[in-house]
Structure 1
Amino acid sequence: MTTTSDQATPSRRRRREEPPGHDKAPGRTRGRPRGKRHGGRAARRRKRGPLRTVLMAVLALAVLGTGGLGWVYLKLNGDIDTFDGEGLSKNRPESGTSKGANVLVIGSDARTEGNSALGGGSKDDIGRADTAFLLHVYADHKHAIAVSIPRDTLVTIPPCLLPDGTWTEAQSDTMFNAAFSVGQTESGNPACTQNTVEELTGLRVDHTLVVDFKGFAALTDVVGGVRVCLPQDIYQGDLNPNRATKGDLIFEKGEQDVSGQKALDYVRIRHGIGDGSDIGRIKRQQAFVSSLLKKIKSDGLTPTKLLPLATAATQSMTVDPGLGTADKLIAFGMSLKDIDLHDTKFVTVPWRYQGSRVALAEPDASGLWAALKADRTIDGKDASGGSKKTSEASASPGATGSDGSGVDGDGIDVAVYNGTTVEGLAAEAATALTGHGFTVTGTGNAGSREHSTTVVQYGTGQRSRAETVAELFPGAQLEPIGGSAINVVVGASYTAGDSPAAPGAGTETAPTSASSSVAEDARSGDDDLCADLSYGTGG
């Protein structure tokens, strides 16, 4: 795994009052400091995560339905932990006009605070992101989608805050889960992971939740277990491939209820099923969360169940400063109450193998992010709920008109390179860009002259501007690079007549909807429990 070696993650502490905004560090509050101190700030954090969103939604409904709001509010406020908002990037994507929300959910394998007893290993091990997904709640509040990001995905990790107040340099071609390990501490770095997701997707992450082994096990106990399915018998050696023997049978093939340690083992098993990959494990994790949703909706809640669930939820997670009070948690939970199981989708970001690692498959990945940004479901439906993003035109980045008149490049600097052997293409593209108000900083030939498709390269924090550039190049691919520049590498598709639109000319746009393959591979919350549990053979 690729990690940095001399960095430390921002701190955390328990919150008991209204937190400030996302981009400011929370002030000192009651409760003992947790972790290390640096720069005059008490360290604070405690892992939290994946199941919290679902549980809080149901919790909110039960609270309001039983009249116990004040009782639970006080209990929740006393248990909420937040991570340091000062570590969030200062150059984030804009919030946009949608009333939807993007929530990053991180499952941590940190061994602190008793987690080593459940996950094995040393309590001093570096905290890593074992799993992560971005939950997009559409603006109509009737649809939701959880997009899993494989931990081995090669990404650009943008600058992240260190304990001494300095920021790291951007790291390109680095495994996604390395972002959580920036700082090499046992508690991890959720702010850096959030920065990385925003850099990767161009979407603003409204909230981040982190859960650890102990918290996950406790939550599954509180709900009375979760129904799962195994495609085959599973032995101890499948959970720990370093064992010298096969070991005892721990799961029989077929359906069964799991909680606590057994639930944790289920979501962590990778070897012995399918091709043994993390991609296959993601499918089982998606099935688990789907089954949890079914359980909560079918069982319902009573006042006697409410307090244990509330306690487990708040004591099992660390959240960003924006969710640091009970009223904000309950308000967010209420926003999920009308989402049906069938309209809750689970997908993995379009991917392909790149050696032993995973790379995003373009243009499908960019199309998925664009669809979420426009509040369009993966099957093409408008889920904007009457927000500003309701028109077909608004589904495209920048809402361009058919003649390209909606593209405004004012204040955006672009360098243009010819990626083909046809002379003069860079100058031609530069002229079109200038006509739309872009500032062309230079033209020249690309290092490779064999580009079939135009590529828009962008540096740290420049994705949204790069999307504006890409609107002028039909089928253009977005590619993150180091630094802060934006480059257009003109490809052979441009020579075939797919030129960037000058004012008054017709144009297409970069991908603005999810590909059919994404919809075909999706799991719905009401799907068969035993269906599609792995990737590769044997699943």
Structure 2
Amino acid sequence: MTGRRGIPRRRRTRAAAAVVVSFLVLLAAGAGWLYLRLNGNIATFDADGLSKNRPGAGVAGQNVLVIGSDSRADGNSALGGGEGDVGRSDTAFLLHVYGDREHAVAVSIPRDTLVDIPPCKLPDGSWTAEQRHVMFNSAFSLGESAKGNPACTQNTVERLTGLRVDHTVVVDFKGFSAMTSAVGGVEVCVPKDVHQGDLDPHLGSRGPLVFPKGQQNISGQKALDYVRVRHGIGDGSDIGRIQRQQAFLSAMIKKVRSQGFDPTTLLPLADAATKSMTVDPGLGSANKMLSFAMSLKDVDLHNMKFLTLPWRYDGNRVAIVQPDADTLWASLRADRTVDGKDAGKGTGKGKAGSGGGPGAPSPPAPGPVSGAGVKVSVRNATDVTGLAARAAGMLKDHGYEVTGTATDRDRDAASTVIEFGPGEAGHARALARLFPGAYVRGAAADGISLLLGRDYAAAPSSGPAGASPSPSASPSPLPGTLSSDVVSGVRSADDDPCANLSYG
């Protein structure tokens, strides 16, 4: 039997198959060209500037630091980049992707937050001294280079949070503008009319209307203006701007998800994104970036959360609120969501109340701990009287030399932290066996210091004060619950775009 026009059906099938194979060959060739193009777009920063005493790698989740740069370099000045030739950063957030790959949270760090900046590498190869109680965004400007100092910002975030940053991404103005255009614009909401004078307070007048009040679709320069506007809305602060940036990112994620895996959208978006980013070497290829992007594909919009580091005003600067901030970082280290669920790898769909996932504190290793020849300083960072003396007694029983005890009256730490200097990593890990659930991280200072948190205060004692916990003792309690003040400020990517847009 023959088909139409007398062509045998088998012959038509072979012809169709040949067409499909030819198409696949062309597609593969195009993908190769695209791969080379995207690879050529990607710039990396020098990883030699990363601290030598970094927090240990996480057991489940991933942490990605995203920095917005207002550098004037490479055509950014036409879009409103900062003054001068020094790269500056007004925006930064730490994205934590949980081990179950079904939850994620982005924590914004206000630019004016007062933090300690550890030693950082300068363009001439020298290293700065540690700086205390300075503005967070000054880390990016250390060295005064046009591209900024992302390694220094990463070091600062690791010191601040106790979390190891797996990847760092810097996005410039031009790339951000191009990405919003590539997705066909983003739906946003403006709480009140915004004029040109609100974008540029030096204009001397309100100027023409830029954004009318209400919902609208924006892209390109207008999208950039939206996430940068600060004056004329709320109290004109960076905190209010952060809330609108979180709403914008929520809307952009929602837009990309709604379009699905459409090559006509994804390819321009990938091209714009890779052109705009400077990344750490670990993300320095199209394959690596694609692999990370695909790790987010199962995060539901409702499970993509945004919040701001717990803060309060300190004059015209921002101070970190404790114990809320320590509780937040401890929750992320344990891979627990902002609503208290264990989202570690292999724990299923965010199983609540589970303490057995990889993010939970590990039981002490068997065998005795000997501290012979090891010096430790002890600080009590809680309001529990006598905690430092209790720990010091236990340490002496194990052979440690306690160099001093003190109480930090201004702190109320949720988690116990062990900090170690150069060459002390092994001793610090051994010490951690006496403090189940303690976080171990590197520091610039020599020796080992023990900062006691509320988890140690609440841990059951296996005997009289100063006795060491037995291998069968119960593990430390899971990280504390976030306060209602922190939780009330959380935004989900599927929230109403007009809700919670301004502070003040």
TM-score (norm: length of structure 1): 0.75
Shift of residue 510, structure 1, vs aligned partner? 8.1
1:248 is matched with: 208
1:414 is matched with: 376
Per-residue deviation, residues 138-193 of structure 1 (Å, max 9, x unmatched): 11111111111111111111111122322211111111111101102222001111
Change (3 A) 1:486 1:470: farther
1:137-156 to structure 2, matched below 5 A, reads 137-156=97-116
Q: Give, in whole Å, the separation in 2 of the partners of 1:180 and 1:196.
A: 10
1:425-440 to structure 2, matched below 5 A, reads 426-435=388-397, 437=398, 439-440=400-401
In the alignment, is residue 337 of structure 1 matched against residue 297 of structure 2?
Answer: yes
2:195 is matched with: 235
Change (3 A) 1:469 1:154: farther
Quote the sequence identity (%): 55
Of 45, 49, 62, the residue aligned with 1:87 is: 49
Q: 2:78 is aligned with what amino acid?
A: A
2:39 is matched with: 77
Shift of residue 74, structure 1, vs aligned partner? 2.2
Change (3 A) 1:366 1:449: closer
Is the contact between residue 363 and residue 436 of structure 2 (CA under 8 Å) also seen in structure 1? no
Is the contact between residue 470 and residue 478 of structure 1 (CA under 8 Å) also seen in structure 2? no
Q: 2:238 is aligned with what amino acid?
A: D
In the alignment, is residue 108 of structure 1 matched against residue 69 of structure 2?
Answer: yes
1:502 is matched with: 468
Q: Give, in whole Å, the separation in 2 of the partners of 1:450 and 1:328.
A: 43
Per-residue deviation, residues 501-535 of structure 1 (Å, max 9, x unmatched): 73247785584554444333211110001000011
How many residues in Structure 1 have an aligned counterpart in Structure 2? 464
Of 74, 86, 89, the residue aligned with 1:126 is: 86
Shift of residue 308, structure 1, vs aligned partner? 2.2
Q: Give, in whole Å, the separation in 2 of the partners of 1:243 and 1:155.
A: 33
In the alignment, is residue 384 of structure 1 matched against residue 344 of structure 2?
Answer: yes
Is the contact between residue 336 and residue 344 of structure 2 (CA under 8 Å) also seen in structure 1? yes
5+ residue gaps, structure 2: 1-23
Change (3 A) 1:233 1:192: same
Shift of residue 426, structure 1, vs aligned partner? 4.9
Q: Give, in whole Å, the separation in 1 of the partners of 2:430 and 2:87.
A: 34
Q: After superposing the two structures, state which structure 1 stretch, 425-434 or 215-224, moved more.
A: 425-434
Q: After superposing the two structures, state which structure 1 stretch, 158-167 or 128-137, moved more.
A: 158-167
TM-score (norm: length of structure 2): 0.79
Change (3 A) 1:445 1:220: closer
Shift of residue 302, structure 1, vs aligned partner? 3.2
Is the contact between residue 368 and residue 515 of structure 1 (CA under 8 Å) also seen in structure 2? no
Change (3 A) 1:450 1:374: closer
1:256-295 to structure 2, matched below 5 A, reads 256-295=216-255
CA RMSD of superposed structures (Å): 4.1
Q: Give, in whole Å, the separation in 2 of the partners of 1:76 and 1:453.
A: 45
Q: Give, in whole Å, the separation in 2 of the partners of 1:362 and 1:230.
A: 32
Q: Give, in whole Å, the separation in 2 of the partners of 1:322 and 1:113.
A: 24
Shift of residue 409, structure 1, vs aligned partner? 8.5
Is the contact between residue 384 and residue 457 of structure 2 (CA under 8 Å) also seen in structure 1? no
Q: Give, in whole Å, the separation in 1 of the partners of 2:332 and 2:161.
A: 10
2:449 is matched with: 486
Q: After superposing the two structures, state which structure 1 stretch, 168-177 or 514-523, moved more.
A: 514-523
